[in-house]
Structure formats: C-alpha cells, structure tokens
Amino acid sequence: MNGQMALLNGVKGSLTDITEASSGSVIPVTCKGRAGELTITANTGALFNIPEGKQAARTSLLDCCSNGAVSFEIKQEDLIGGTIVSGTTIQIWYCKHATQSPDRPIRRLLKSAKLVCVTEGAAQHAVRLLREAAAPRKKDTQRRLLIIVNPCSGRGKARHTFTKHVRPILEAAGFHLDVRETQGPGHATDIVKEAELQIFDAVVAVGGDGTIFEILQGYFHGEDWAQRVRAPFCLVPSGSGNALAANCGLWTPETAAIAICKGRTRALDIFSVVQPPSRRYFAFLSIYYGMMANLDHGTDHLRWMGSMRFTLGAIHEVLRHRRYAATVAYMPAAKSTQDSAKMESPTQEHVKHPSPVPSTQHSSSNAEAHSTQLPPEDNVLHSSSNAEARRTQQATEGNGHSSGATPGSCSSAGPSLQLLQALGPEDQLQLSHIAEMHPGWQLLSPRDTSFFAAVNLPMLDFHSSTGPQADFNSGCLDIIYVPNITNRKQGLEWLDQLGKGRHMDGNLTHLKKACAMIIEPYSEGTSLVVDGEAIPYKRVYLEVHPSLCSVIVA
C-alpha cells in the first residue's frame, strides 16, 4: 500500500489486519495485531494503541502479541514521540497525568514502551511517525529549540535537571537542541541577542525567573525585534520562585518539557520599565517595592534554601513592621482601552491559539493592544544585588530627574511608549499634580504602605498568588497594596492569608488595575525589584504592552 504499510508490516509478526483510515496531513493509518491494536490517527486526535503484555509497557510488541495481551492506549495529547534504542528496537515515549486536582496545575509523568521492528529502516520510519503523530504541526527535522541552562539558579541543580529530566523528552520528540550554559549574570541576554530567534520553535530557560528576565532583554535587540518576539519562551522550573512556570502550569521539569513538545502557547503582556534618560527593561512578572522587594532580593544569600527563603524573608519583614513611602501615579486600565483600541500588537496575528489556563487563574479583560515600534538599541543593564554598587550608580547618574529627558521617548528597542510619551519631559512633570496636568492619571493614596506590588501574572511561585485577578493578557498590571498593617499579629495573619491566596478577602488589601505607572520611592532600607532583579533606586516609569510575547503553557 504505502510507506506506513511498510513500517507496520515490518513489526515482527505482530500485525495481521491493516486498514487505512481517513486521509489527512499526517499518518492516517490504522492497523490491528493479533492480540491488540496499533492505531495512529494523529489528525483526528485519536489514539496510539499498542498491546500491553504481562510486563506492560516494557515488553516488546512481539512478546505482547504472543502472550495474548490486552491493549492499552496512549491518547495523542499524551504521546511525546519515539527514539531508536538500538537497531530495530524503538521506544515510544508518552506521559501520564500524575495529579489532577481543581486548584493545581496538572503534573505529568514520563512513561515509555518498547517495540521491536523487523528492519532498521522500519524502526526509523516508526520513530518518524511517532514524532509526527505527537506534534503534527511540524516535521521533526525542522524542530529546533534554544535552551539556556543557568547552573546557578535555585539550588544549583539546573544542569542535572536538564540532562536527566528534560533532554530525553525533547530528544524523543525530535527537537534539535542548541544548548547553552550561562557563564555569569547577563550572559543569557547576550546569548539571545546573538541568536537568530526566528529559526527556533521556542527559547527555553532551565533556571528561574531571573534567567527569563535576562532572556527577555535579549529579545529586544536589533531592528527586527517585532519578529524576534514571535519565538515563544518557556521556563523549565529550576530556580527558587519559578513564577513563570507556576503561572503556565509547568509544575515540574517533565511537565514543562512535555508542554514544549506539544507547543501550546499563550499571549503574554510585557511591560516596559523605564528610567530616563535611556534605561529601559522589559518585564513579564512584577515590580516590588518595600516588603516584597526585601523578602525577594534581600534573601539572595539564602539561595540554597530554595523557595523557603521567601517564606523566611516574609516573616522577617512582617516582624520588622515597617511602612515604606512612595508616590505612585497610575493610569487606570479602562482608560488605556479607549486610547489604544485602534492599535495593534506585533504578535497579535501570531498568537492565535490561546492555551488552557492553569486552573489557578482568573481572567480579566481591561485593555487592548497599543504597541507600535521604535528603532532598537541595546541599553539593557543587568541588576546588581549589591547596595554599594547601587549607591555608586545613583551617585553617577544623580537621583534627580534628568533635565529634558522624556520617559516616553527613551531611546531603546521595543514598542513605543505612548502613554508615557504623552507626559512630556520629566523635569516638567510634577508628580503630585499629575491628575490635574494629565487627565486620566491618578495618584495612589496613601503614600506610605505596609505592602506594595504591581503584578502582571497571578502566581508568585508554586504555592502562593500575589495578584489572583491578574491575567496573561489583560493589558494591565494589578497594583496590590496594603495601606497599613497595624501590628505584627495582624501582619502574620495577613501573610498567612497571602499564602492561601485569600489576602484579597476583607478590606485590608486594595487593588487597582493600571496600564501605566510611575513610582517615586523615598524610603531607606529597601529597593525596587523588577522580576526578581534589583534596578537602580530612583523614579521608575512603567507601561504595559498587551500580548507582545507568547509563552509555552501546559
């Protein structure tokens, strides 16, 4: 009959009744064995069935059939691909749902089964069929990933995680892997800057959110940044917080690797973080000031503890019982929707397939796309956790506002900053009168807060959610703040509620949705932290770019 037939006949003596199913782009072939059946109907979302013997998945098909075995089935969504074990023996890789509870992302476990073919050619053909059946969008010869492993993230196990838990899955799916290991802070940015991103199916970080942050800075390099952002990115959780992985439902490294194979993406808002005259970062997660900044960045030396360092840091901060002063101005999200309805995001067309939302997320829709283009320039700086370095930097730059600098025309790559542009030069901007000078802007009150954060995604890590109403592409940041925690007991109770995602209940915690913000920090003993990385301690401007990038989701 055809090529598939040759393969199926090539499986030693096991297949007797072979029929072709409907025609389609991939492998519409059904075949039946004496004791079970083998079905590949990738384009209809059907099954890959192989007989199961006494030794279940580890038994060859030949053995299964001669044992008179029952069949078990692998759903197409669970099929990962295949590899040649040796000569004529192939291994089918698939996954199983390990946990499934309504308030947790799905965890997946890797499984495999061996199958013996008569000839080596048949074995190679079988592997190709398996890979195409698992991910019918692309020929296996064209799949390519840029993998960036940060050996220092989290507890320093990223290298092991990649080799042991991620690489075998991606290879089974037929990806060509360009693997790079970071040599130090900022290296991930350089790797991505130099990469031809268009040839990759995705950029994968094996690390933490800081690695993703560095990768993101590398995306906005060169005139073609609008094309470069089309490559989705993904976090294989190997850091301390792993917020991106938590938000994307990538509960374990294996789950993340399987999600990469399946290639489901979701549009993600990115926000610019601007410090005139020329500094501009691109962020995906959050900006913290005060308590959150301290518990995150202030616990860097406790990296060996994993995510426990954040819990300890939070308790320490609550016991300090401090309030932090800042003038915060923001433009409510609804206004931006009106302003930006006509404009388009560069990736709007590209991100056509919204993926399943992890069940921990709630949706909100407040704003729409409003990004356009500016000529690019590399001006990304890498953060330093060192307070001394920060002070030196401030002394060099001055903590005041650069004369004539306009936050909205910060000369950098990336989409234009329309909302910030409208504010005009920084030295003419009186923050305390912004509402009168610039209709649509508001001041946050009070100036002193016990807790302050603005988040783009709901989950802080795998265990807690800072902004449960935040969403991937809502077009806004959720400003979460607590004006005043009156005593330590109330602080600890509030922390407990935060851990359970119930801190928004009651009236202690406030929420504003903003498409642009300005933060002028005043307090000593804290910092500004963007996506877990400290930035210079001075006034900062933020603007959201709806759906600018896309991320791999479970």
Residue closer to ligand ATP, measured from CB, 381 or 437: 381
Residue closer to ligand ATP, measured from CB, 259 or 417: 259
Rounded least distance, CB 284 to ligand ATP, Å = 12
Residue 410 CA, chain-centre distance (Å), reads: 26
Residue closer to ligand ATP, measured from CB, 340 or 383: 383
* Cα–Cα dist 207/531, whole Å: 14
Residue closer to ligand ATP, measured from CB, 76 or 238: 238
Rounded least distance, CB 325 to ligand ATP, Å = 27
Structure tokens at 179: 């693997």
Residue closer to ligand ATP, measured from CB, 123 or 216: 216
Rounded least distance, CB 69 to ligand ATP, Å = 45
Per DSSP, 105 falls in state P
Are the C-beta atoms of residues 82 and 127 closer than 8 Å to each other? yes
Rounded least distance, CB 354 to ligand ATP, Å = 25
The sign one gets for the Cα dihedral 195, 196, 198, 200 is negative
Which residues are at the interface with ligand ATP (CB under 6 A)? Answer: 150-154, 182-185, 187, 207-211, 214, 239-242, 303, 532
Give the H/E segment covering residue 435: helix 434-437
CB-CB neighbours of 326 under 10 Å: 22
Any residues with CB less than 8 A from the CB of 409 and at least 6 apart, and which?
A: 417, 421
AA letter at 222: G
Give the H/E segment covering residue 116: strand 107-116
Phi-psi region of 278 (alpha: psi -120 to 50; beta: other; left: phi over 0): alpha
Residue closer to ligand ATP, measured from CB, 94 or 472: 472
Rounded least distance, CB 460 to ligand ATP, Å = 10
Residue closer to ligand ATP, measured from CB, 138 or 382: 382
Nearest to 239 by CA among 192, 147, 145, 303: 303
- What does residue 37 show for φ and ψ, rounded to 5 degrees? -145, 155
Rounded least distance, CB 393 to ligand ATP, Å = 17
Rounded least distance, CB 260 to ligand ATP, Å = 18
Residue closer to ligand ATP, measured from CB, 313 or 414: 313
Asked if the bond preceding 277 is cis, omega within 30° of 0, the reply is yes
Are the C-beta atoms of residues 218 and 191 closer than 8 Å to each other? yes
Rounded least distance, CB 474 to ligand ATP, Å = 22
Rounded least distance, CB 268 to ligand ATP, Å = 16
Residue closer to ligand ATP, measured from CB, 60 or 161: 161
CB-CB neighbours of 548 under 10 Å: 30
Are the C-beta atoms of residues 335 and 422 closer than 8 Å to each other? no
Rounded least distance, CB 35 to ligand ATP, Å = 49
Structure tokens at 440: 């649509």
Rounded least distance, CB 207 to ligand ATP, Å = 4
Residue closer to ligand ATP, measured from CB, 240 or 337: 240
Per DSSP, 433 falls in state G
Q: Is 531 helix (H, G, I), strand (E, B) or coil?
A: coil
Residue closer to ligand ATP, measured from CB, 207 or 536: 207
* Cα–Cα dist 152/133, whole Å: 37
Q: Are strands 144-149 and 202-207 parallel, antiparallel or unpaired?
A: parallel
Task: Name residue 74's beta-bridge partners.
Answer: 48
* Cα–Cα dist 332/513, whole Å: 6
Residue closer to ligand ATP, measured from CB, 217 or 474: 217
Rounded least distance, CB 481 to ligand ATP, Å = 22
Radius of gyration of the chain (CA): 26
Strands (DSSP E) along 458-539, which ranges? 477-482, 510-521, 528-530, 533-535
